Amino acid sequence: MFWEENKIMVTGGKGFLGSHLVGKLKDSGCRQVFAPEQDKYDLREKDAITRAFEESRPDIVFHLSAKVGGIGANLRFPAEFFYDNMLMGIQVMEYARVYNVKKFVALGTVCAYPKSTRVPFKEDDLWKGYPEETNAPYGLAKKMLLVQAQAYRKQYGFNAIYLLPANLYGPGDNFTLEGSHVIPAMIKKFFEAVRNKEDEVTLWGTGKATREFLYVEDCADAIILAAEKYNKLEPVNIGSGMEISIRDLARLIADISGFQGKVLWDRSRPDGQPRRRLDISRAQKEFGFRAKTRFREGLQKTVDWYKATFQAE
């Protein structure tokens, strides 16, 4: 009955993670889920935000809306990544308070962690240094949501929680090379090489950096569990607990895509943060979340979606 009784707003509900979350909320029994579309509700503008709250009057808000992208996009547009994410987060949470929202679920980012964080990343280490430089403006803007959530809880008794997901992947991801993250970028490059009968693919960096990846549907499950069961001020990592080097990731995607050529590494391009793997024990303890999707299985589903969606291009 929890989801049937509450009206929901999902900012970014038409996006990659948001669309999966909205689908799962409806499957859970939600009768009223409002996902403000970006072209109709610019969440950097107060008038648009108030209009969204007036029209939906939500009990629970999931704030997923964000300006996101890979290393290249973060390097080209650091000011936009900082300004847009700061402005959206600060205002959406403030108006959620003004409109007496019962619970606010804020999505942060693994990019908020310091560059030199001990592995696995523990939530208590979040403030022990500056983020990796290539995505620091984005990471810091998203980390301010945690500061705001804790301040609002202290002063207003506002029930805001803050989740830190690992790098996401899965069907519906952004496959444009200009703005995509590493997995969709690799899938696109390898499949284009196969289609064009090319025998070389060039990837950024050295391939030595590591990442933790979380299948998008598993992340949506975690968010729903947290909304149901978690009501504390401490941030919570959401991840799979796995770690893979970018070089091994490239080999795996090349194998799935059928690419048998040579992979070249452009060392003039940045690797980003040297290592990423999350300590996921708090999510397991507080609301029983464990990722279900094995990595190769999730990659295969992502590749199958990509082929079905883009193979005619």
Single out the residue of 245, 227, 249 nearest to residue 236, CA to CA.
227
User: 279 lies in a domain?
Assistant: yes
Predicted local distance difference test score (pLDDT) of residue 253: 97
pLDDT digits 0-9 by tens, 192-208 = 999 999 999 999 999 99
Say how many domains are in the chain. 1
pLDDT at residue 294, rounded to an integer: 97
The CATH number covering residue 154 comes to 3.40.50.720
- Per-residue model confidence (pLDDT) at position 71: 83
According to the model, what pLDDT value does residue 101 have?
98
Pick from 144, 44, 146: nearest CA to 95:
44
Low-confidence residues in the chain, pLDDT < 50: 313
The two three-digit tokens of residue 58, written as one number:
């939500």
**Which residues, 6 or more positions from 180, have their beta carbon under 8 angstroms from its beta carbon?**
69, 70, 173, 174, 188
Q: How far apart are CA 132 and CA 137, in angstroms?
A: 9
Active centre residues (catalytic): 138
- Within a domain: 89: yes
Residue 179 included in any domain: no
Tokens describing residue 244: 């893979």
> 107 is written with which tokens?
């999505």
259, part of any domain: no
Domain annotation covers residue 137: yes
From the number of C-beta atoms within 10 Å of its C-beta (0-12, 13-18, 19+), residue 266 rates as exposed
Q: Which residues does 191 contact at the CB level (< 8 Å), separation at least 6?
A: 257, 259, 306, 307, 310
Q: Tell me whether residue 180 is in a domain.
A: no
Residue 58 preceded by cis peptide, ω within 30: no
The answer to whether position 197 is within a domain reads no
Q: What is the DSSP annotation of the chain? A: -TTTS--EEEETTTSHHHHHHHHHHHHTT-S-EE---TTT--TTSHHHHHHHHHHH--SEEEE-------HHHHHH-HHHHHHHHHHHHHHHHHHHHHTT-SEEEEE--GGGSBTTPPSSBPGGGTTSSPBPGGGHHHHHHHHHHHHHHHHHHHHH---EEEEEE-EEESTT----TTT--HHHHHHHHHHHHHHTT-SEEEEES-S--EE-EEEHHHHHHHHHHHHHH---SS-EEE-----EEHHHHHHHHHHHHT--SEEEEETTS---SS---B--HHHHHHH-------HHHHHHHHHHHHHHHHTT-
pLDDT of 268 reads 94
Q: Which residues pair with 103 in a beta bridge?
A: 60
Range of the domain at 48: 8-173+212-242+275-293
